[in-house]
Structure 1
């Protein structure tokens, strides 16, 4: 084992009592880390919101194969990602790996883009969660009609409180909320299958190549990739898991396989529940209630009502997972003194990055205020945040694929050509094409505004450039800070 790896392992459990600064700590295993990733991806929200959109404006009946195709692409990405995580056992996620391979300037720029991307997803999910809570209380149960921001504020309090404590507590809460929503999805799938599908029975047409190419494949793939978001966050928890190499590897592969399987099967059952002749029309005209109506039809009113409740808790789980990931990027930057060092402090009892968590919480509520007081529609604001978050993360995936390829060409080992050359090269080609498609079609996620699409693109690529400039400034004026960039652990 390398010296760096050893220090990483031992450092997890250091505390203030031994005379050293407290380090992040936690004991989460593979299953708990997978739950965090699945909560980030919010599967019930995906089934209720994203899948009907793919059916309606994507490739229609070919939606199940869109998840298969995107899952294969991300699995190729994960092969190189995991290999590099094992070879370079540093905390910090993409920030650390891109710094080590493509240079500290690009690594710092990537960390800025990561924070922006996760902040966009966080704000968008607060919007979604608040709207879902209002729809449940007012629309479903006849309670008072209140602004989405009212409910989002209480979600913010919940997330901010849990972010203060040890990651194990968040993992347990996420586990309970996630398991509840997965029960609804699995029950729905089983009932549709047991009843032999809808009015047209079970058709294999959604699994054919003709169906896959029946509509807009680029749009379908773009949205399908969104539904896997969060799998890349496994490495950022390196300091808080048991047996980091094994846990991160298993959780990364496991989350992609579970999400891909769940979305493929559930979209297939949803389409067959309505019938292949009707599903696209229903998704086009009634996408917002397509899943809930299907649950009510096949499982009953009680389960449909439970689905509406779980849409709120699913938002809450996603908020907590996204908040925790963003927090650890801020913590990593502060540890390297590339952000205010105060955010690099660790709670002496809980072993959590509590001040970084508080900083992210404050940033989130400050950025939410303009949305809360504006007259813009929920859909406009949500699509904006989804757009900027999506673009930022795909930029990171693409840079990371390049980083893996460059790293193993420069430092070959015994991992094998397939894992260190072939898979990363294929992932890089596919992700570059996807990035181009998303940039080209960004107006779909920004309400059709070309101006806003340009602003979001400029923000993402501008932050990447800003990180490069700041790193070069550190190199010339603060060499000790520059040398520490990339979570090298000294």
Structure 2
């Protein structure tokens, strides 16, 4: 049964008691409970460090012409840290695989919670499925250059889809081990790139760290683009039922993840400016796109590093696919338990304890969408990846704003936390996230390349 706190909660006007321990996912097989490190692996893998470094950062520079991306990454990290104060406090009272939807339901009512769950499903499915386009192209190119094999992008995408489906069906702690290995490898690659570029031109490019550099382009569109880099940081609460101590583990993992992502990507954005020079940054990003990472790395590190990082780029995308798949499967699980979707989705595997029906459902949806794009011959990058990623990012910003508002309402009725986490942080988070949402919508044409 769902581990939502005793009774029906705020949706029915009853007092909600704190959760002292989660109700574990069903399963006969004894599984290692997840700790802070496991959750950080899930969260940071969803943000895909090498994918953001090679594809995301150059794309934002090219599309928005904002030179101050390092500053904006730190600003976003600060906003999400404020949001996380209330979010982490909420996780100490509600442990639910639906996270966002459960929090919104408790704070704003069952109907709004159901709407939030629907938005979450659409957003996370969009993000997950969009990555098959990018993965397919990257893997196809790697096979062609390294082995001389000609494999269509959709063939690579379907192969990855099958492997993700198998891993999603199996034990969640096995998924954590797979993600851990992939995350360490790609993170080391990004650090090597950063050190190499900043060592050659870090001081000369330091002007991108000034607030004035933020006003050089479409900052609103840049914020929405960059929010996609953070997507997944909030997913720690989704695994609360599988943690050894959700009251502490979720909060710690969320803060660590926000800091890791924000500071790490700010440094990487600065590294690109150091590599190209500030004056030539936007032009180089426009001309080379995702290849800019490899062009600069070839000059500063060497061809051997480029060959390795192209492999790590593909594994980075796979790690993100697997992480998002797990998030979507657990949203299906939560909505099935509550009866807002077929109750079969709320079942867990009797042996593995995984949300296996939700996992298979997500794989089926991905197959339909990717198959549709492949059959129609649409470009997997400019359509499948770009369209669905932007829809997913906007949906997550909306969810964050609603959740922050719900947390404010929840603690207004039940003051039981520190004044900062129960009142100030949620209210401030609602204001700041709402501003980002408005700016993103106002410049959404830039996001779609129009």
User: What TM-score comes out, normalization by structure 1 length?
Assistant: 0.85
Is 1:161 the counterpart of 2:163? The answer is no
Is 1:105 the counterpart of 2:117? The answer is no
Q: Is the 8 A contact 2:336 2:346 kept in 1?
A: yes
- Per-residue CA deviations over 1:308-361 (Å, capped at 9, x if unaligned) read 111111111000000000000001111122222222221122111112111111
Q: In structure 2, how many angstroms separate the alpha carbons of the residues matched to 1:13 and 1:341?
A: 15
Is 1:64 the counterpart of 2:94? The answer is no
Q: How many residue pairs are counted as aligned between the two chains?
A: 436
Q: In structure 2, how many angstroms separate the alpha carbons of the residues matched to 1:3 and 1:44?
A: 38
Q: In structure 1, how many angstroms separate the alpha carbons of the residues matched to 2:143 and 2:25?
A: 44
Q: In structure 2, how many angstroms separate the alpha carbons of the residues matched to 1:26 and 1:99?
A: 30
Q: Which residue of 1 aligns with 2:291?
A: 289
Q: In structure 2, how many angstroms separate the alpha carbons of the residues matched to 1:212 and 1:13?
A: 46
- Give the unaligned 5+ runs of structure 1: 17-21, 449-490
- Give the unaligned 5+ runs of structure 2: 7-16
Q: In structure 2, how many angstroms separate the alpha carbons of the residues matched to 1:283 and 1:240?
A: 42
Kindly tell me: are residues 3 and 80 of structure 1, through their superposed partners in 2, closer, same or farther at Cα, counting changes over 3 Å?
closer
Q: Is the 8 A contact 2:196 2:301 kept in 1?
A: yes
Q: Which residue of 2 aligns with 1:403?
A: 406
Q: Is the 8 A contact 2:62 2:283 kept in 1?
A: yes
Q: Which residue of 2 aligns with 1:232?
A: 234
The Cα shift of 1:9 comes to 2.5
Structure 1, 439-448 or 144-153: larger mean CA deviation? 439-448
- Residue in structure 2 matching 1:79, options 81, 85, 89: 85
- Residue in structure 2 matching 1:114, options 97, 106, 120: 120
Give matches, 1:75-224, under 5 Å: 75-138=81-144, 140-141=145-146, 143-193=148-198, 195-197=199-201, 202-224=204-226
Q: In structure 2, how many angstroms separate the alpha carbons of the residues matched to 1:414 and 1:385?
A: 38
Q: Is the 8 A contact 1:59 1:213 kept in 2?
A: no
The Cα shift of 1:54 comes to 2.1
User: What TM-score comes out, normalization by structure 2 length?
Assistant: 0.92
Q: Is the 8 A contact 2:18 2:94 kept in 1?
A: no
The Cα shift of 1:447 comes to 4.5
Q: Is the 8 A contact 1:384 1:447 kept in 2?
A: no
* Structure 2 residue matching 1:227: 3-state secondary structure: helix
Q: In structure 2, how many angstroms separate the alpha carbons of the residues matched to 1:13 and 1:404?
A: 25
Q: Which residue of 2 aligns with 1:328?
A: 330
- Residue in structure 1 matching 2:267, options 265, 268, 273: 265
Kindly tell me: are residues 415 and 89 of structure 1, through their superposed partners in 2, closer, same or farther at Cα, counting changes over 3 Å?
farther
- Residue in structure 2 matching 1:307, options 291, 297, 309: 309
Q: In structure 2, how many angstroms separate the alpha carbons of the residues matched to 1:155 and 1:169?
A: 17
Q: In structure 1, how many angstroms separate the alpha carbons of the residues matched to 2:428 and 2:135?
A: 36
* Structure 1 residue matching 2:329: 3-state secondary structure: helix
Runs of 4+ in 1 over 4 A off after TM superposition: 2-8, 13-16
Q: Is the 8 A contact 1:26 1:166 kept in 2?
A: no
The Cα shift of 1:27 comes to 1.1
Q: In structure 2, how many angstroms separate the alpha carbons of the residues matched to 1:204 and 1:233?
A: 33
Kindly tell me: are residues 13 and 114 of structure 1, through their superposed partners in 2, closer, same or farther at Cα, counting changes over 3 Å?
closer
* Structure 2 residue matching 1:61: 3-state secondary structure: coil
Kindly tell me: are residues 358 and 277 of structure 1, through their superposed partners in 2, closer, same or farther at Cα, counting changes over 3 Å?
same
Q: In structure 2, how many angstroms separate the alpha carbons of the residues matched to 1:14 and 1:54?
A: 43
Kindly tell me: are residues 46 and 3 of structure 1, through their superposed partners in 2, closer, same or farther at Cα, counting changes over 3 Å?
closer
Q: Is the 8 A contact 1:91 1:239 kept in 2?
A: yes
State the Cα RMSD in Å.
2.1
Q: Which residue of 1 aligns with 2:53?
A: 47
